[in-house]
A and B are shown apart, each in its own frame.
Chain A
Amino acid sequence: MRKTGSGLQIDENFPLTKGALLLGFVFLLLLPVVARYSDYVLQVFTHALLLATLALAWNILGISGSISLGHAAFFGVGAYGSVLLSLELGISPWFTIPLGGLVATGFAVITALFCLRLRGGYFALATLAFVEIPKVITDNWDSLTRGSLGLLGLPGLPTLSLGSYHFDISASPVASYYFVLSYALLLICLVALIFRSNLGLALHAVRQEEAAAEAVGIQVQRYRLLSLLLSAFFTGIGGACYAHLIRYVEPSLVYGLHFSAIPMIFAICGGRFTVLGPPLAALVLYPIDQFIFHPLLPAGHEFLYGAIIILAILFMPSGFWGRLGKGHLVSAKTGSIE
Chain B
Amino acid sequence: MWTTAFVSGITLGSFYTLIALGFALIFGVTHTFNLAHGELLVLAGFVSYWLWKTFGLSLVFTFPAAILLSFAVCLILQRLFSRLREPLELNSVVVSFGVAILLQNSMLFCFSGDYRLIRVPALNQGLRLHTFYLSYGQLTLLALSLLVMGLLYLLMHQTYLGKALRATMQDREAAALAGINVGVMGVLAFGIGAVLIGLAGPLYGCIQYLYPTAGLQATLIAITITIFAGIGRLHGLILGGWILGLVESLAVVLLGASWREMVSAVMLLILLAMKPHGILGREG
* Residues in chain A within 8 A of chain B (CB atoms): 67, 69, 113-115, 117-122, 124-126, 128-133, 136-137, 139-140, 257, 261, 265, 268, 297, 299-303, 305-310, 313-314, 317, 334-338
- Contact call A336/B269, Cβ cutoff below 8 A: no
CA distance A268 to B264 in the complex (A): 28
- Contact call A118/B90, Cβ cutoff below 8 A: no
Interface residues of B in 169-222 (CB under 8 A from A): 213, 216, 220
Of B80, B98, B104, B272, most buried by chain A (CB within 10 Å of CB) is: B98
Instruction: Report if A126-B278 is in contact (Cβ < 8 Å); known contacts: A306-B101, A309-B97, A309-B101.
Output: no
- Contact call B272/A114, Cβ cutoff below 8 A: yes
- Contact call A125/B266, Cβ cutoff below 8 A: no
Instruction: Report if A121-B259 is in contact (Cβ < 8 Å); known contacts: A303-B105, A306-B100, A307-B98.
Output: no
A136 CB contacts on chain B under 8 angstroms: 258-259, 261-262, 265
CB<8 Å pairs between A and B, sample of 17: A67-B93, A119-B277, A120-B87, A121-B89, A121-B93, A129-B265, A132-B220, A132-B261, A136-B259, A139-B258, A299-B109, A303-B109, A305-B98, A309-B94, A313-B91, A313-B95, A338-B90
Question: Is B223's CB within 8 Å of the partner chain A?
Answer: yes
- Contact call B105/A306, Cβ cutoff below 8 A: yes
Q: Which of A133, A139, A300, A337 contacts B108 (CB 8 A)?
A: A300
A314 CB contacts on chain B under 8 angstroms: 80, 83-84, 95
- Contact call A310/B268, Cβ cutoff below 8 A: no
CA distance A303 to B101 in the complex (A): 6
CA distance A337 to B95 in the complex (A): 11
Interface residues of B in 91-126 (CB under 8 A from A): 91-95, 97-106, 108-109, 112-113
Q: What is the minimal beta-carbon distance from B194 to any residue of chain A, in angstroms?
A: 19
* Residues in chain B within 8 A of chain A (CB atoms): 33, 35, 80, 83-87, 89-95, 97-106, 108-109, 112-113, 213, 216, 220, 223, 256, 258-259, 261-262, 264-266, 268-269, 272-273, 276-278
Of B93, B106, B112, most buried by chain A (CB within 10 Å of CB) is: B93
Nearest B residue to A113 by beta-carbon distance? B273
- Contact call A303/B106, Cβ cutoff below 8 A: yes
Tell me what chain B mostly uses at the interface: helix, strand, loop, or mixed. helix
- Contact call A122/B213, Cβ cutoff below 8 A: no
Q: What is the minimal beta-carbon distance from B120 to any residue of chain A, in angstroms?
A: 28
- Contact call B101/A261, Cβ cutoff below 8 A: yes
- Contact call A121/B213, Cβ cutoff below 8 A: no
- Contact call A310/B80, Cβ cutoff below 8 A: yes
A114 CB contacts on chain B under 8 angstroms: 269, 272-273
- Contact call A302/B262, Cβ cutoff below 8 A: no
- Contact call A300/B109, Cβ cutoff below 8 A: yes
- Contact call A121/B92, Cβ cutoff below 8 A: yes
- Contact call A126/B272, Cβ cutoff below 8 A: yes
Q: What is the minimal beta-carbon distance from A137 to any residue of chain B, in angstroms?
A: 8
CA distance A126 to B223 in the complex (A): 10
Q: Which of A69, A122, A335 contacts B85 (CB 8 A)?
A: A335
Q: What is the minimal beta-carbon distance from A82 to any residue of chain B, in angstroms?
A: 24
Q: What is the minimal beta-carbon distance from B277 to any residue of chain A, in angstroms?
A: 8
B262 CB contacts on chain A under 8 angstroms: 132-133, 136-137
Q: What is the minimal beta-carbon distance from A301 to any residue of chain B, in angstroms?
A: 7
- Contact call A336/B92, Cβ cutoff below 8 A: no
B33 CB contacts on chain A under 8 angstroms: 121, 125
- Contact call B258/A313, Cβ cutoff below 8 A: no
A124 CB contacts on chain B under 8 angstroms: 90, 93-94
B261 CB contacts on chain A under 8 angstroms: 132, 136
Nearest B residue to A139 by beta-carbon distance? B258
Instruction: Report if A257-B213 is in contact (Cβ < 8 Å); known contacts: A126-B269, A129-B220, A132-B265.
Output: yes
Q: What is the minimal beta-carbon distance from A147 to any residue of chain B, in angstroms?
A: 9
- Contact call B89/A120, Cβ cutoff below 8 A: yes
CA distance A268 to B93 in the complex (A): 14
Nearest A residue to B89 by beta-carbon distance? A121
- Contact call B276/A300, Cβ cutoff below 8 A: no
A139 CB contacts on chain B under 8 angstroms: 258
* The 3 nearest A-B residue pairs measured at CB: A121-B89, A306-B101, A300-B109
CA distance A309 to B93 in the complex (A): 11
